[in-house]
Amino acid sequence: MKKVVIVGSGVVGLFCAVRLRIAGAQVTLLEAEAEHPSPFGPIASAAAAGMLAVLDAVPSPHEQLAIESLKLWRELRPGAEWADGVRFDGGVHVRANADDAQNFFRNAQRLGLDVSALNAGQARKRLGLSKKLENAIFVGDEGTADPQRVLTGLAMQARAMGVVIEYHRDVENVTQSAVMTHDNRVYEGDAVVLAPGVWATEKLMRAAPALKHVQPAKGHVVAVETDATLGPNLHAPDFYMVRRREDVVIGATMEPGRYDRRVDESKVDALLDAARAFLPGEVKAEGRAWAGIRPMSPDGWPVVGPSGDVFVAAGHSRNGWLLAPLTAEIISAYVFSREIEPAWAALAPSRFEAS
């Protein structure tokens, strides 16, 4: 039986652990932080809004991968320990003008997505809001994952399958076949997978040079109250709004190069002002705000595959939640030396390591 050691228990690391266990590996998952992640902590997955949105404003060379990963979310959800933390209610995208809306609609059609143009009344009804929204497009192929519930459920699922998860295990160094922690423990394996988010040390970067290309971007998320029960995700010009299991949040700012997680009240106020201006009288501050640090790659798409003597799954940028199941599929294929599809190979670290 192949032994695999994974570093990092965010949504990517947990999905990789589950997928590798399904494939027959003996898996150990190491995490430097505590067992129950908080949005106020360093794990980017816990601080995220959890949107599963496949459609960008402009075409992308990797857009089919986003669609493929959403399909995996749908396939994996039934019966999973985290099933009640995921919904597929779609998203309403409000575009700047009629031409922009038409282009967005045509792009969604080109990709074969479930899409429809909404008039102002239909958009209001679909969202459960009072304001009539012009230039709105509904995308049915979109969802939401509640970070706290799904992370907890994934850990439960992994453990039930026999994955060993050890928390408070801060990794000091790795080799091709072993992971060493700061408390002098050694975990040996036939393969090592690094999914550290943006928190890779110099030693980890020496083991996996691709991690040097992962840079931080700070983003604020703010909890709000709404009179109506929001259905689909709302993508407005200056903010998004998402209903999760127990709250509604708006986000998100983008501050490249920032590692600090201190909440900037001016950023919070700007998000609230944008939401209040767009939906007058329908959005109120709930009192909580936090900042997460996204792991950004140079092109905004994840770095997945071999780097140095190990495998990496990092740099997911805004799409860590959406692309986590597909990332796990790709990592499993690499670990078990299966054929790598060309679209998957396009995410390999080698696209940056030559630069």
Find the CATH number of the domain harbouring 178: 3.50.50.60
pLDDT of residue 152: 97
Domain count, the chain: 2
Q: With contact defined as beta carbons under 8 Å apart, do 92 and 138 qualify? A: yes
pLDDT of residue 348: 97
Same domain, 164 and 280: no
Q: For 6-23, give one letter per residue: b (16+ CB within 10 A) or e.
A: bbbbbbbbbbbbbbbbeb
> Which residue range forms the structural domain that includes residue 262?
87-142+215-296
The answer to whether position 16 is within a domain reads yes
| Token output for 9 | 């228990």
The answer to whether position 72 is within a domain reads no
Same domain, 290 and 306: no
Same domain, 136 and 219: yes
Same domain, 345 and 311: yes
The answer to whether position 60 is within a domain reads no
Among the candidates 281, 296, 311, a domain finishes at 296
Same domain, 313 and 173: yes
Same domain, 133 and 223: yes
Same domain, 199 and 229: no
pLDDT of residue 355: 47
The answer to whether position 127 is within a domain reads yes
**Beta-carbon neighbour count of residue 58 at 10 Å?**
8
CATH at 264: 3.30.9.10
Same domain, 234 and 286: yes
Same domain, 152 and 291: no
d(CA 220, CA 293): 9
Q: Give the contacts of 7 (CB within 8 A, at least 6 positions apart).
A: 13, 30, 171, 174, 179, 192, 193, 194, 195, 196, 204
d(CA 24, CA 60): 34
**Parts of the chain with a pLDDT under 50:** 355
pLDDT of residue 298: 94
The answer to whether position 56 is within a domain reads no
Same domain, 97 and 11: no
Stated pTM of the model: 0.96
Same domain, 227 and 246: yes
pLDDT of residue 354: 57
Residue 30 DSSP code: E
d(CA 235, CA 137): 10
pLDDT of residue 58: 72
Q: With contact defined as beta carbons under 8 Å apart, do 44 and 229 qualify? A: no
Same domain, 105 and 134: yes
pLDDT of residue 59: 77
Chain segment 255-265, per-residue pLDDT in tens: 999 999 999 99
